[in-house]
Structure 1
Amino acid sequence: MTITLKLATSLDARIATASGESRWITGAASREQVHRLRAAHDAVVVGIETALADDPELTVRLPGYTGRQPARVVLDSRQRLSPACKLAATARETPTYVVTTAEPDAALTQAGVHVLSVAADGEGRPDLMGVVQALANAGLANLFLEGGGQVAGSFLRHGLVDAIEWFRAPIVIGGEGRPAIGALAVAALAGAPHFRRVEVTQLGDDLWERYARVA
């Protein structure tokens, strides 16, 4: 199992303004590279808040691309994903999974969505170790985390992020903007997740920074 976290942020690590505006923080070259990274993974993973706010497709959309599409995974404890959203509406064309803590919703399964039920954590969300195991059992061992801050924080807090692909735009949004990473409960620097920068590339006006976890 390899888990990669993608971040597309301002210089101060914000993914949206306070009002939720986020299109587009990074430039076209960065967004194109994200699609290439999607194509290299088994599945793209988002939280339900991202799915509800953006109604994304989470597919690889590159000129001339005819390769395999990654599966789409939504962490959705209460199965709030609508059967009419883009992910569910295309579930029979591109594999789509909802990971929940409840029994599968018939409306989603009838739409072709694969619903995986796992145990809840202490906050009622899908337990991440259970999530990772359920996805691995489904043949999805190479995960690409795309959002949002709660998902990023949860995976980092549990020590499950192996690599970070960070696209930074040369703008500053400020403290009222939405952070890329949620709470980590870090009490001391020694307990913070540590990563090693392995590469930096300029993409248009943006920087693409690649990090690997320090064991």
Structure 2
Amino acid sequence: FPHRRTGRPLVTLKVASTLDGQVAAADGTSRWITGEEARRDGHLLRSRSDAVMVGAGTVLADDPGLDVRLDGYAGRQPAPVVVAGRRSIPPDRRVLGRGAVVFAPTAAMTGAVVLPGAGGVDLAAAMDHLGSLGIVDVMVEGGPTLAAALLREGLVDRLVVYLAARLGGGVGRPAFEGRFATLGDSVEVEIVDVVRLGADVRVTCERVSR
């Protein structure tokens, strides 16, 4: 229970990709990589989270609501969280209409929580802030830049990967942006669960570490 030890929420990183690790095609299209069963399962994960976090690129490209969309669902909705970095978020984005918590490295964006860090937002401080709000469980849904940054900083507790039964060909956008000079620099995970969801597979890994 990371929240009890550190005051930070438990962080689950969710990724949906092709078998060869692409989250979008070369032309940027990403809907829908996985099938209906996998997408429904992803919404179940959302429903169990206090907050859903994305980066600015995801907000600008997809304008997600970050809400739970399941037939008959009447439970609480997770709080939307955006790591804006140095990119401005237009005021008409849906997450802002839902009162999103926005982290930014400067005060250029009105209402943002300013947490400057190396190259952008101080992600550890962002998790501390969410913990201070009583948020115990955060699900991160992208994009690749934010995912890689959280992995590098050791802030991911659980990784959930939905693997689609298709190949992207290696020319699309990778699930995690960033390169490792040697195999020793790569991120090791422990696979704890594998579940078939229609044509797709969900792989759950615990305690991501360097």
Q: Judge same fold: TM > 0.5, yes or no.
A: yes
Number of aligned positions between the proteins: 201
* d(CA) in 2 for partners of 1:149, 1:208: 18
* d(CA) in 2 for partners of 1:128, 1:61: 28
Alpha carbon RMSD of aligned pairs, Å?
A: 1.5
Secondary structure of the 2:170 match is coil
* d(CA) in 2 for partners of 1:212, 1:172: 26
Secondary structure of the 1:38 match is helix
**2:210 paired with 1:206:** no
List runs of 5+ in structure 2 lacking aligned partners.
1-8
List runs of 5+ in structure 1 lacking aligned partners.
110-114
Secondary structure of the 1:7 match is strand
Written as runs of structure 1 = structure 2, the 5 A alignment for 1:101-120 is: 101-103=105-107, 105-106=109-110, 109=111, 115-120=112-117
Describe the superposition over 1:159-211 as per-residue Cα deviations: whole angstroms up to 9, x where unpaired.
1111111100111012210000111x533333322111111111110001111
What letter corresponds to residue 148 of structure 1 in structure 2?
G
**2:2 paired with 1:5:** no
Match of 2:58 among 47, 50, 53: 50
In structure 2, the partner of 1:98 is: 102
Give yes or no for contact 1:194–1:213 (8 Å, CA) kept in 2.
no
Give yes or no for contact 2:88–2:109 (8 Å, CA) kept in 1.
no
* d(CA) in 1 for partners of 2:152, 2:86: 22
TM-score, structure 2 length as denominator? 0.90
1:104 positional shift? 6.4
1:105 positional shift? 3.3
* d(CA) in 2 for partners of 1:77, 1:32: 30
Written as runs of structure 1 = structure 2, the 5 A alignment for 1:149-168 is: 149-168=144-163
* d(CA) in 2 for partners of 1:120, 1:198: 33
1:119 positional shift? 2.0
Give yes or no for contact 2:156–2:208 (8 Å, CA) kept in 1.
no
In structure 2, the partner of 1:112 is: none
* d(CA) in 2 for partners of 1:53, 1:208: 25
Describe the superposition over 1:123-181 as per-residue Cα deviations: whole angstroms up to 9, x where unpaired.
2x101111111221222231111011101100111111111111001110122100001
In structure 1, the partner of 2:4 is: none
What letter corresponds to residue 78 of structure 2 in structure 1?
P
In structure 2, the partner of 1:133 is: 128
Matched-pair identity in %: 38
The range that moved more, 77-86 or 40-49, is 77-86
* d(CA) in 1 for partners of 2:208, 2:162: 20
* d(CA) in 2 for partners of 1:25, 1:57: 18
**2:193 paired with 1:193:** no
Match of 1:143 among 138, 146, 149: 138
In structure 1, the partner of 2:3 is: none
* d(CA) in 2 for partners of 1:117, 1:142: 22
Describe the superposition over 1:22-80 as per-residue Cα deviations: whole angstroms up to 9, x where unpaired.
00000000000000001111111100001000001010011111111101111013361
TM-score, structure 1 length as denominator? 0.88
